[in-house]
Amino acid sequence: LGDKRNAPVGRMLLPLVDVLWPIGEAPSLAQLQDLARQAKQVPCEGEKVYSYRFMPLGDSLDTGDQDLYVAANKQDPSSGMERSGVFGCVTLKVQVKLSAEVGSLTHCYLRSLRDGAVEASAPASDEAAADESQPSVLSVLKNTSVKQTVRNIGRLEAFGTAPTTGLLRWLRDRPVRAYSAAAVALALGFAEALPPPMWTMPAVVWLLVVANGLLAAQQRAQDWGPRMMEVVDDATASADPQATSAPFPIWSGDLSTAPKKSMQEMLEAFSKGMGKLERNTEAVASFLERVSSVATFADQPLSALIMAGGGTAALVLCVLLRLVSWVDKSGSKACGLAAAVLLIVAAHTKVRGRKRDDPLAPLHVANKILGCAPTRGDVVHYYVATREQCVGKPSGSRAASTSSVQLGPPS
């Protein structure tokens, strides 16, 4: 180690929550019963034995001691961890015991939720006023919020392009499940068991949410699987990708064989990330503003046209539903048929996966369609042009070839 005897060369994460509750596993009935028993157990305690390797140091947002593991960026080969930095192995016996003041594990979570609600309702403090020093160019360049912004862009992209889980994945894994569920829906419809009574809808929604969560937990446990403990070099990983397949991009050797980026390439990547951030935020803001403009008749001809189209579509649906009500007075058969069609369509639609580069593509398409709808900036221009810069009320009519508008003070 030489002069750097105290410098960190590796690290290990201690998953304290995993000691009390197994992470990455689907909850079983026995575990839920054990959790119910732990609600009365004070204090809550657990013990586990881990065999750990020393992992490379992760990315840090500042020069302090906060060192974070983050998912690697597939567009940046240097963002992942190097397998060559993994070394050693040590067996640790980890014991976790909550204090008597914290109580059981259930009480711990309830207290955390309560404290979060209290903190959210408290008046926000002005953090900017605490720092009265004038920022310099160097301090702006070193500002960690820029790096965090770039990281958040990657987080949003990863969330938007992540594979579907839960009920949809369960149906798509085996299409026969969708056909079976459709047959059950048809049977329930002809037995007039659909739709369920209105007073049971909260329980039905809750059951669907729980079922979706449990299926997603089982799929996560299947995806994570038992990880291999031996160190695999990059050559072995490229030759056998299945040996090191993971649900998250972690290792730089799995991302690309390209060399690390130069400073110029890093600047270009940063500029590209800022451009992508600008484009995505522009898409969200423009879509919300245009929808608001259409709904509030900011552009009367466009709003009237869209409202008339919506009214026509609503009238057609009303007529169709009326015809269905004559054939199926209770609506059970129609509801069962609609449920069956939705299940089959959901099982055969294109899987949302990582190949889609732009998770906000639907918003960009909607903005192109609503390109003639005014944004907030356009509405501000309308206001300035027709109210602030005019002296008096504009004269003339729509049918006139010209209109007299006084743009300045009278001479």
| Neighbour count for residue 105 (Cβ, 10 Å) | 20
Residue 45 exposed, middle or buried by CB count within 10 Å (0-12, 13-18, 19+): middle
Query: What is d(CA 74, CA 253) in angstroms, rounded to the nearest whole number?
Result: 11
Question: Is residue 340 within 8 Å of 186, Cβ to Cβ?
Answer: yes
Average pLDDT value for residue range 124-143: 54
- When pLDDT is cut at 50, 70 and 90, the band that residue 22 belongs to is confident
Task: Give the lowest-confidence range in 13-27, 71-85, 266-280.
Answer: 71-85
The whole-angstrom separation of Cα 403 and Cα 386 is 13
Question: What percent of the chain clears pLDDT 90, i.e. is strictly above it?
Answer: 15
pLDDT of residue 1: 43
Amino acid in the structure at residue 407: L
Q: Which residues contact 69 (CB under 8 A, 6 or more apart)?
A: 13, 58, 59
Contact indicator for 306, 294 with CB cutoff of 8 Å? yes
| Residue 95 tokens, joined | 């014991």
> 337 with 161: CB under 8 angstroms?
no
Per-residue confidence at 315, pLDDT binned at 50, 70, 90? very high
pLDDT recorded at residue 183: 93
- One-letter identity of residue 132: E
- Summarised one tens digit per residue, pLDDT across range 361-374 is 888 889 999 988 99
**In angstroms, rounded to a whole number, what is the distance separating the alpha carbons of residues 368 and 354?**
24
Instruction: Give me the pLDDT at residue 309, please.
Output: 93
pTM of the model: 0.71
Distance of CA 137 to the CA centre of its chain: 34
Q: How far apart are CA 244 and CA 254, in angstroms?
A: 9
Indicate if the pLDDT at residue 408 is higher than 60: no
Radius of gyration of the chain (CA): 30
283, β-bridge pairs: none
Q: Quick one: how far is CA 4 from the chain centroid? A: 41
As to burial, measured by CB atoms within 10 angstroms (0-12 exposed, 13-18 middle, 19+ buried), residue 72 is: buried
